[in-house]
Amino acid sequence: MQTTKKHFKVIINYNYCKKCGICSWICPVNAIIEEEFGKPVVPDPEKCTGCLQCERMCPDFAISIKQIEQ
């Protein structure tokens, strides 16, 4: 039996984001990192495990995680 890895997309709404850094701090796999001036980015989307910690903890509701069909 073959298991396939689930893939997720991290969507950051920069209109809501206040660059607090909670998402990068809470991410257990360091999928979200802070760029210059605190802007959160996802340089390697494959790292995201879909744990939803960033989405739950964002005080500005600026992050959503979507599962991608592959």
Residues 24-57: tens digit of each pLDDT: 999 999 999 999 899 999 999 999 999 999 999 9
pLDDT at res. 3: 67
Residue ranges of the domains in the chain? Answer: 7-68
CATH T-level topology, domain 7-68: Alpha-Beta Plaits (3.30.70)
Instruction: Answer whether 0.75 is exceeded by the pTM.
Output: yes
Nearest to 46 by CA among 1, 14, 7, 4: 7
pLDDT bucket at 10, cuts 50 / 70 / 90: very high
pLDDT higher than threshold 90 for residue 13: yes
Task: Identify the sign of the CA torsion 16, 59, 57, 25.
Answer: positive
> Cα separation of 39 and 12, whole Å?
10
1 pLDDT above the threshold of 70: no
Q: Please, what is the average pLDDT of the chain?
A: 94
